[in-house]
Structure formats: C-alpha cells, structure tokens
Chain A
C-alpha cells in the first residue's frame, strides 16, 4: 500500500467549495488516471473513473461514491473594503472569527474572517453572545479600491487552514469531510491494480453533496450501477460528541444500518470485515444517512446502496481530525469487497431472506 498522506495533504490544501469543485477534481483526476481505464467529468462536474472487470459482458457495475465538495462561504457584499459573507453548506458561525480564508476573486486572495468590536455591532449583541455570520467580515489587508477591483458579490470563499499532522498518525484540516473518503477510494483503486475483479467499478467523486447531492443523483442516473457504495465521514467521539451516534477515532470505519441501506449489502460488509478482522462499528441511522446514499438509493428505478463512515472529530470546522488508519482500513475493506464479488453477486441482494 502506498503512503496516502502526501496525496491527502494535497487534497486538504485544495479549495473546492460545493459548486466549485474543479481544483479538487484536477488533483483527484491526476492521481486516478493511471489507476482506471477511463476517466471523465459528468455534466455537473463529478469525476467518473472506470475500472473494467474481467467478467463476461454485459458486466454488472458497482459504483463507489465519495463526495469531493467542501463547505465554506460566499461573498454577499463589500463595505469599505471589507467583505460580508453567507455560508455554503452547514457551517457553525461560531468557529469563524479569526479563521484564515482564501477569497476566490479575480485572483485568489488571502484573508481572515474577523469579528467586529462590540461597539460597532447592534446593541443586542454583547461580549457574551456569538456574533452572527451576517455581521462577520473578511479583511483582505488591501485598500478599499483594490478590494472593489478584485472581488465581486458571489465569489466563493474557502477555508485556508493548512493540514496539520497531529500525534498518533492523525491529521487535522478543513474538508477532511469528505476528502478522507476520496483518499480511501484511491487506496481501494490502488489495491485493485493487483486484485482481479469480475465487476466493473465506477470510482466517482461527486459534487455538491453538502448542498443537496446533485452529483450523486446525476452520476447514479448516468452510470446506472447495480449497486452503490457510498463512503462519507461520521462523527468521532471527542470533545462535544459522545452520544450513541459517535464512534471512536482510530478504531475502524463504520458500516451504516438503516432505511437507506440494503440489508444484504450491510450483511455482506459485516461478514467481510469480520473475516478480515478489520475493526468496525455499526452506525445506526434511523431516518437517513445524511450522505450521497440518500440520493442514489432513489435514483431511477432504485439502486441498492450502502454507506460506510470514516469517523472524524469536529466535523464542518476547519480543523476536522481523522486517523489515517481508519482511511486505510476503509480502503482495504472496499477493495476486498470488490475482489470478492462473484459475477452473480446480485442474486444475494434480495429481501426477506
């Protein structure tokens, strides 16, 4: 297995806000190109890599979906050289003051999100209240006339916190959700170079998961796989998160269970992980998984789907933390699943057994 860390750090350094994924797509495409037989972008920008299987035609196809888009912000106004903001995807405004960002104006501009002093804010916002996003500003360190020249309303704004290697083979950065899963899929593709598989495999990096799963709907419709395996991030246990829906960091991926998940796929993954002695947790999702699986499951005539989760701390902040081991385990589990699929695997994907 190659060292995934440099690639992951490249991914965590790249912008790629929902709707503006190209910087990430280019990095992923370059890495996947030698690992797949065909590679292209969909009509909405998702990246489709195809590894053909060895089975007889017409071959069934499996789709891996890992979304590559990032949550972030967008410029809504310019006031005396300062930028006003709105959010793209779910962001807690309370993590924003002091946050380094890149404003994608006529050129990429470094800046910092700032919290104005209390006396310049509405009287009901005191020192003890968080300052709502609508009152936060971006300072680009430029003079007002330069800002007006370089920035427009609607320009995307990305977090620019560089990735940090923490102790115990963990990594912190923005957009670990969900570039960690893109890295896991990359590991899977690398493993498959030396592992024959009968099924066709579509490796898909989807767009716009954070704002409505457009990429998942459209790729699933276009590629029409027999089954879909979604990989996304889950909540790791840690400060502020210790409930039933959180999972230990570094103790393996989750295998999701709930109405989005086809029971046969859930069973197959659990049995495989048990056999390989890959640690995992079962993640219960009583309503929906909050992943691309929500969309893929109901595409066209319906597609049997499953979702795996890589636990991360501080999700949707610029300092999400992931354990590299969990990424490697997820990648290996995915590859083993593909390599072990019989040509008639679909016969096992049934109800009420």
Chain B
C-alpha cells in the first residue's frame, strides 16, 4: 500500500524545491527517473520530454482488448511549474523577463527568485516607496518595469533565454504544507508512490508530463503513444476558500482545504467521463475516504488533451486542493494529500473491465 511518511514528504520537498518551468523540466525529470527506475518494466523519455513508464500487472485479464490481458490505465501528472524566462540583459546583472504560464504579476514585486541551471539567487525589486507617487499606488506595478537583479556579476553567469522561478522555501506548519509549485509536485510525488505500489489488476501507464501550464502539450502526445483504456489525471487545484471581504458567505469557492481530494465533473476543458466520476465516488464512499466534488467551472488539467486523443479516451481528474496557486507560496493540507493517494490507489484496485465496457450514459 502506498503511504505518506517522512520519506515521501522529503521527496515532495525535493520536488517542490526543484526548478522545472514549462519547457525546462529536466530537474524534476531526473528525480522522477531516479525514483521509478527500479520499479518499471519500461521507461522512455519522449520527443517532448515526457517520462512514459509502464508497469504490467500480474492478475488475470480485465482487458477489453483481444490479445492483451489487463486494462491499460494511464495516470498522468505534470512536472512543470509556472515561472519566468529572461528576455534581455540590461547590464550589471539586471535582466528583463517574461512570465511563463499563468502568473498574476501582482505576485512578483519584492520576491526572491532562482535563475538558470545553477539556481542563482536573484530578486525582483520595486521602486522604493519613498519615490513612489501617490497616483502610482493605484496601479499595479507593470511587468515592463520589473527586473530580475542577480547582483553585478550576474551578466557573466546567465543569459536571456534561461528560466527562473520563485525561490524555493518548503515548510511544514501545523496541518499544512507551504511551498512553491505544490501545483503539481503533489501530483508527481503521489504518482511516484502509486507507481511503486501499482496494484496487480491493471497495467499501469504512468506519464510525467511536460508543458501542462502552457498547453497542455506533453499529455497530448503521451496519450497518443500509450493508447490507454482510460486515464486518471493527478493535479492540484485552487481552493479559493477564503472569507469574503464583506463577511458574506463565500459561494464562489472552488474546493475547500481539509475536505479531501477533489474529483472533477467538469472544468474549462473537459467533461469527465461520468463512469469514472461515479467509480471514484463509489470507491471513496466504500472505503470511507473523504472526498469532494470540485465546483464545476473553469480551469483545466492534462485531461483537456488526453480525453480528445485518438478516438476519445475516458478521462477524469483528481486534484489536491491548495490555496494561492502559481505564487511563491501555496498552502495545502497534508491530510488531503494522503487521502488523494489513498483514493486513487483504491480506485485502481477496484477497476474492472466493466467500468469502461458499460455505455457512458
């Protein structure tokens, strides 16, 4: 059985502290390959940089297909995170930059960052408050006026085209985890753990995808290559479960921290396969695992690419709820992450070929 203990939390910390902005996923890929290499039947890094790892089950057939034995179940989690790319060297270690992925630029002034392969520390400063005119305070600080400052020696160490992200600072406090890139290192660490403890009744096709935050791109080709019977996407979703400014009830939350993993019915890109949604709910109920249904609405996951691949692939997403996605510090609950892994593992164990043989009605 997969578990979350010190070792898994340490792995999550390493994954969150790694730097893997969309298009530059090497640091996380290295950790993933190292973790799964002794557990896979076959591992491949494809043309885009996705890690495709397969692990055959050992139970007799659950499969739809003639000639093969068990259902081929794809689990996908994206390795990439949002971040920055240096665009111009303004001299003396000061660089212009652009954002990569969905970042609210109001999150950038006054932040520590890491830059390039060496993870060089840098800062995004702001004009001293003493020099800011009152008029300016009404406007957000535009990206064009922000710079990454590496110190006077910086220009010799990195070049435009290199990536940067928020400085890592993984913390545990009370029931919570605080870190950058919890979206989606929670999913990556979970997928590694699930891969190591794959149940025998399925053939597990694990995909650690690239460029989800600017696509999803990696998942599209991975789903084509693996041609699974069904897919479950492991991701992290914003909660927005904060108090409203005026004390009114917050009716626009997305998920709630502490209420268990979030099962997707519909997001901005995908209507989940209802059979898979029902399966996850039934398994959670049967096993007493807390869960929540993510509020239908916007957003998207790798499922957006996967479910439209080939002749259509039954797909569902499950996410760990977390707050302040795509910022320097997101907050998630350890218990939600534990229940997420428990739910997906139980759902895999209970998969039978009937699940996707039935009409999806």
Complex Cα–Cα for A109 and B173 (A): 8
The distance from the CB of A86 to the nearest CB of chain B, in whole angstroms, is 15
The distance from the CB of B157 to the nearest CB of chain A, in whole angstroms, is 6
Instruction: Choose, from A10-18, A87-95, A188-196, A281-289, the stretch at the interface.
Output: A87-95
Q: Tell me whether B30 is interfacial, beta carbon within 8 Å.
A: no
A142 touching B175 by the CB < 8 A rule? yes
A:131-163 near B, CB below 8 Å: 131, 135, 137, 139-143, 146, 161-162
The distance from the CB of B6 to the nearest CB of chain A, in whole angstroms, is 19
B252 touching A92 by the CB < 8 A rule? no
Pick the contact of A129 from B139, B149, B244 — CB < 8 Å?
Answer: B139
B245 touching A317 by the CB < 8 A rule? no
B:119-155 near A, CB below 8 Å: 120-132, 137-141, 145-147, 149-154
In this complex, how many residues of chain B approach chain A with their Cβ under 8 Å: the count is 64
B327 touching A167 by the CB < 8 A rule? no
Q: Tell me whether B341 is interfacial, beta carbon within 8 Å.
A: no
Q: Which residue of B lies closest to A165 (CB)?
A: B121
Query: Across the interface, which residues of A come within 8 angstroms of B252, CB to CB?
Result: 117, 119-120
The distance from the CB of A54 to the nearest CB of chain B, in whole angstroms, is 41
Instruction: Choose, from B66-74, B101-109, B223-231, B304-312, the stretch at the interface.
Output: B101-109
In this complex, the member of A94, A128, A238, A323 whose beta carbon has the largest number of chain B beta carbons within 10 angstroms is A94
Complex Cα–Cα for A253 and B4 (A): 53
Pick the contact of A94 from B106, B328, B331 — CB < 8 Å?
Answer: B106
B327 touching A98 by the CB < 8 A rule? yes
A316 touching B129 by the CB < 8 A rule? yes
Q: Which residue of A lies closest to B122 (CB)?
A: A166
Complex Cα–Cα for A13 and B138 (A): 32
- Assuming A166-B123, A235-B131, A319-B112, is B245 touching A116 (CB within 8 A)? yes
- Assuming A121-B245, A239-B147, is B126 touching A95 (CB within 8 A)? yes
The distance from the CB of B169 to the nearest CB of chain A, in whole angstroms, is 6
Q: Tell me whether A301 is interfacial, beta carbon within 8 Å.
A: no
Pick the contact of A120 from B106, B107, B110, B240 — CB < 8 Å?
Answer: B240
Number of A-B contacts (CB under 8 A): 212
Q: Which residue of A lies closest to B252 (CB)?
A: A119
Pick the contact of B110 from A135, A139, A250, A319 — CB < 8 Å?
Answer: A319
Q: Tell me whether B329 is interfacial, beta carbon within 8 Å.
A: yes
A142 touching B174 by the CB < 8 A rule? yes
The distance from the CB of A104 to the nearest CB of chain B, in whole angstroms, is 15
Q: With contacts A135-B245, A167-B152 known, what are 16 further pairs, Cβ within 8 A?
A: A90-B130, A91-B129, A97-B327, A112-B324, A117-B242, A120-B242, A128-B140, A141-B178, A142-B175, A164-B167, A167-B153, A172-B112, A172-B149, A238-B147, A317-B126, A319-B112
A and B contact pairs by CB, cutoff 8 A, 18 listed? A91-B129, A94-B109, A96-B110, A98-B107, A99-B110, A111-B173, A112-B178, A114-B324, A115-B106, A139-B323, A162-B169, A167-B157, A168-B93, A240-B127, A243-B131, A315-B128, A317-B109, A319-B110
Binding site for B on A (CB under 8 A): 79-80, 82, 90-100, 109-112, 114-117, 119-122, 127-131, 135, 137, 139-143, 146, 161-162, 164-170, 172, 235, 238-241, 243, 245, 249-250, 290, 313-319, 321, 323
